[in-house]
Amino acid sequence: MTNALEIHIEELRSELRECIDPDERREIEVELELARAELVVIIAEQDRWLKAEPPF
């Protein structure tokens, strides 16, 4: 799971480097930020730093 997400992040970074349209650039930046946040959560869950279960 993390490998595919890491590849997706690298692809977004590449797109961002090549993008010149401001609107498209912002969309890519948002998607990149969300992907990075998702990766952090997945890693935290794997390292047992975070419980994805509700507290009840």
Domain boundaries along the sequence of the chain: 2-46
Model-level pTM? 0.80
Q: How much is the pLDDT for 44?
A: 85
| 1/46 Cα distance (integer angstroms) | 11
User: What type of residue is 53?
Assistant: E
Q: How much is the pLDDT for 55?
A: 60
Integer angstrom CA distances of residue 37 from 4, 20, 30, 33: 14, 24, 11, 6
| 21/15 Cα distance (integer angstroms) | 11
Successive 10-residue mean pLDDT values, the chain, 56 residues: 92 97 98 96 81 62
State the DSSP string of 26-50: HHHHHHHHHHHHHHHHHHHHHTTSS
Q: How much is the pLDDT for 47?
A: 82
Q: How much is the pLDDT for 4?
A: 95
